[in-house]
Chains A and B, each alone.
Chain A
């Protein structure tokens, strides 16, 4: 249907049927793929995710199997290396490549759990604090201040020293550390949305607090939450690996990258590949999530699109 606005002389503006609203996903992808760093980050993460999922099928050996005849064998590109153990073996003769592959499983799992726990709890607390305000808000925010007064690793150390060192406790500790940023983020968006006409209108129609918080307001805070969750993955993986490195996280023989690094420290002179490779994996995954997070922030925030 064509509508022509005319003046006495000639049509000035021709209003054709408006272009259909672009699908938000299509629009997002259009802006996202222009950011080369973000695409590199996404590809890196997808690769590690595939490795993690397919670990039992692609790992050449069992990550816990000890090959007594191949202690500290260097990777294949050095003269003494063997095709049988492409990235060499560690001090007790375990295949390093297989351990790194299974390590991807551990680290991705850690990242997922940490984000799930911290984003979940943080969102609920942020919604409550932002929506109700008042005393609840003040008490919650003071508690968050206390959590933020302690540096992240130190706070994780407190949690681990209470619960004892293990992979699960490291995940819990890392999640606790990550909660404040989610609470603050969601609280700030809720306070911004709370006064918007759609929320007020919904209230006059009798929407209860649960509906207001979770159905009306929350979907409008999703963009920053997605960005923060992506960055939460990298922080979670990094902090859990740091705890593993300090001997306060995953315990040997778990194939966790940080724990592997801590084992490898004493062999830095005789078997440097045991040190370089696990750390490189951590760096790549963390870098991937950071790149992706930056790209998502740019693509999801209309103010930054230019």
Chain B
């Protein structure tokens, strides 16, 4: 297990170097002078120009610059936002929990709805349920979620008036962030039930929008994986032993069908990050997705640069974690990887 972990980490090193190079080159690849870009189009006095240039280290040789960039990044120093004048790392830290909360809500919905739905479709193969499932999951899989989010708003917020349109919680609540996850913080604070209800009503539509594609993918994979396993000899043996249908499917079949389902769940985290960028923009959800999009529109290059690096680190770490869990769950696979 340790050896597997080390091997997995050693593959990560070139990837992370590559990501830092992408992030480092970004500001230097933008057409035009990065110093003028930071100072604005007005132009600057020569001495101001030189101060900024040397404060950014842009008068150093390029390798030196890269080294300084990596060293600073490892110390959590990613420069400061042009817009807010706050450190990029601070800005990221404030917003990250919101994205984690949304992503987790979407993922939990996709897993806890997707697996049972897939099981039912597989068990009732070729039934009306199965056919409608196949059609709906294909539609879900092809869904442009930036449109789907708007349709959900149109139906549930505009027409029915059930849910709010934007934000994380009603303005009347002032929650002190402890974990950063509002669904938990509302309980830790004195506000209690009404605040929790407000937080739930805010998160439900974005979570549905974000969870739709993972839901379609996970349930499709559950169905096909389970169907494949149900044709195996040991299932026939289990049935022949007179085990109940529930036990055959729930224990014997599902446990063996779980491997591809887990794989696909792991792959969905990347989809969640991509989707979060769109979902947060639609629902004005104050997470890192909306932050990075805003920084591109306002050409806040330190934020883009640092944000890309931090998001890539987050994605790579999640993938590593998923792979490790995967190896813990399947000892058979450790040697293959």
Contact = CB atoms under 8 A, between A and B. Distances in A.
A246 B281 contact: yes
Most-contacted residue by chain A among B147, B271, B299 (CB, 10 A): B147
A257 B18 CA distance: 34
B182 interface: no
A158 B26 contact: yes
Interface of B: 11, 14-15, 18-19, 21-22, 26, 29-31, 138-139, 141-144, 146-148, 150-151, 153-154, 158, 270-271, 273-274, 277-278, 281-282, 292-293, 296-297, 299, 301, 304, 308, 311-312, 315-316, 319
B224 to A, nearest CB: 12
A127 B18 CA distance: 23
B315 A149 contact: yes
A142 B301 CA distance: 26
- Category for how many chain A residues contact B: 35 or more
Contact of A279 (B151, B281, B293): B151
B146 A153 contact: no
Contact of B316 (A149, A269, A282): A149
Nearest to B299: A161
29 contacts: A142-B14, A142-B15, A146-B19, A146-B21, A149-B315, A150-B19, A150-B308, A150-B312, A150-B315, A152-B274, A154-B312, A157-B296, A157-B308, A158-B22, A161-B26, A162-B26, A241-B144, A241-B146, A245-B146, A246-B281, A248-B296, A265-B282, A269-B158, A272-B158, A279-B147, A279-B150, A283-B139, A283-B143, A286-B142
Nearest to A246: B293
Nearest to A145: B15
A238 B19 contact: no
Contacts of A145: 11, 14-15, 18
B30 A162 contact: yes
Contacts of B315: 149-151
Contacts of A247: 297
Most-contacted residue by chain A among B31, B274, B304 (CB, 10 A): B274
B278 A246 contact: yes
Contact of A265 (B141, B150, B158): B150
A157 B144 contact: no
Most-contacted residue by chain B among A150, A246, A265 (CB, 10 A): A150
Given A145-B18, A160-B296, A248-B296, A242 B150 contact: no
A150 B311 CA distance: 8
